[in-house]
């Protein structure tokens, strides 16, 4: 006779907030931070939000869109100021891209999804705007600048995506080990070039390679004219 359940159950937990895209994405980010992106599934997320998976489809088109939203949220952490290096556009650009890469390094799986589902959120637009502006200060022709932004972001994203040897990452670094082993154990007779370049092929601190990649791209972008348009 005592069990009227309505008010009791309502007070049992800290008041389930109304569903909203905002709340859904925030919760997804939280799950990613604590358990990794592979746990950011519709079902797991629904469970966390105390509802069924079907309910999420009112706010999110599918899993890919969900991951894209999580990525954009994370891009809010990129430091766009360019502080850290010198005052020139080049140092500032380097600092912004380094910040972008480091943010993705924390979540290589997200970098991979960035390669699949191109982001289009406000934080992504802010990032593109900033890089474009800095690169334009190089004085390079407009098209080179426009195409160059793409190259810089693609390189940084792909570098992060590759860097899967990470704690929260289940698909960790044994593939890279396999590649290293394969390159090391190569027969000098059949693969002379590999043997000849061997230590360097595998060596090099990530930081050094990142810095060099940046210089390679900026030098190339500013100095290489776009080809004559094919038909």
Partner DNA sequence: ACCTGAACACCGTTCAAGT
Q: Report the site for DNA in 18-47 (rule: CB under 7 A).
A: 18-19, 39, 41-44
Contact partner, 145, from DNA, a copy of itself, none, Cβ < 5-8 Å per class: a copy of itself
Q: Which residues contact 90 (CB under 8 A, 6 or more apart)?
A: 138, 218
Q: How far apart are CA 193 and CA 196, in angstroms?
A: 5
- Please identify which residue in 118, 139, 167, 189 interacts with a copy of itself, judged by CB under 8 A: 118
Answer yes or no whether residue 224 interacts with DNA by CB under 7 A.
no
For residues 4 and 118, which CB has a smaller minimum distance to a copy of itself in the complex? 118
- Please identify which residue in 30, 62, 81, 219 interacts with DNA, judged by CB under 7 A: 62
Q: Of 1-9, 31-39, 87-95, 218-226, which part binds a copy of itself (CB under 8 A)? A: 218-226
In the range 18-57, which residues lie near a copy of itself by CB under 8 A?
none
* CB 119 within 8 Å of CB 140: no
DSSP 231: -
Q: How far apart are CA 135 and CA 128, in angstroms?
A: 10
Describe the crossing of helices 142-162 and 206-223 by its angle, rounded to 10 degrees. Answer: 160
What phi and psi values does residue 170 have, to the nearest 5 degrees?
Answer: -75, -40
For residues 114 and 140, which CB has a smaller minimum distance to DNA in the complex? 114
Q: Of 7-15, 39-47, 96-104, 214-222, which part binds a copy of itself (CB under 8 A)? A: 214-222
Contact partner, 91, from DNA, a copy of itself, none, Cβ < 5-8 Å per class: none
Q: How far apart are CA 54 and CA 198, in angstroms?
A: 53
Contact partner, 9, from DNA, a copy of itself, none, Cβ < 5-8 Å per class: none
- Distance of alpha carbon 220 from the chain centroid: 23
∠ CA 201-206-209, rounded to 5°: 60
Answer yes or no whether residue 121 interacts with DNA by CB under 7 A.
no
Q: Which residues bind DNA (CB under 7 A)?
A: 18-19, 39, 41-44, 51-55, 57-59, 62-64
């Amino acid at each position: 006779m005592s069990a009227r359940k309505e008010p009791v159950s309502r007070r049992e937990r800290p008041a389930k907030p109304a569903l909203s895209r905002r709340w859904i994405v925030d919760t997804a980010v939280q799950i990613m931070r604590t358990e990794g992106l592979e746990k950011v599934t519709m079902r797991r997320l629904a469970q966390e939000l105390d509802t069924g998976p079907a309910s999420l489809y009112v706010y999110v088109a599918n899993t890919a869109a969900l991951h894209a939203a999580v990525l954009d949220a994370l891009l809010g952490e990129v430091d766009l100021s360019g502080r850290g290096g010198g005052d020139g556009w080049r140092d500032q650009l380097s600092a912004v891209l380094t910040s972008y890469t480091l943010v993705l390094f924390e979540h290589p799986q997200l970098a991979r999804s960035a390669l699949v589902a191109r982001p289009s959120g406000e934080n992504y637009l802010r990032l593109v705007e900033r890089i474009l502006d800095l690169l334009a200060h190089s004085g390079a022709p407009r098209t080179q600048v426009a195409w160059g932004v793409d190259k810089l972001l693609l390189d940084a994203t792909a570098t992060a995506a590759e860097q899967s040897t990470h704690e929260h990452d289940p698909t960790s670094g044994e593939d890279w080990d396999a590649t290293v082993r394969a390159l090391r154990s190569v027969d000098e007779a059949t693969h002379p070039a590999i043997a000849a370049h061997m230590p360097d092929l595998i060596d090099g601190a990530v930081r050094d390679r990142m810095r060099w990649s940046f210089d390679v791209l900026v030098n190339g972008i500013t100095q290489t004219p776009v080809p004559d348009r094919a038909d």
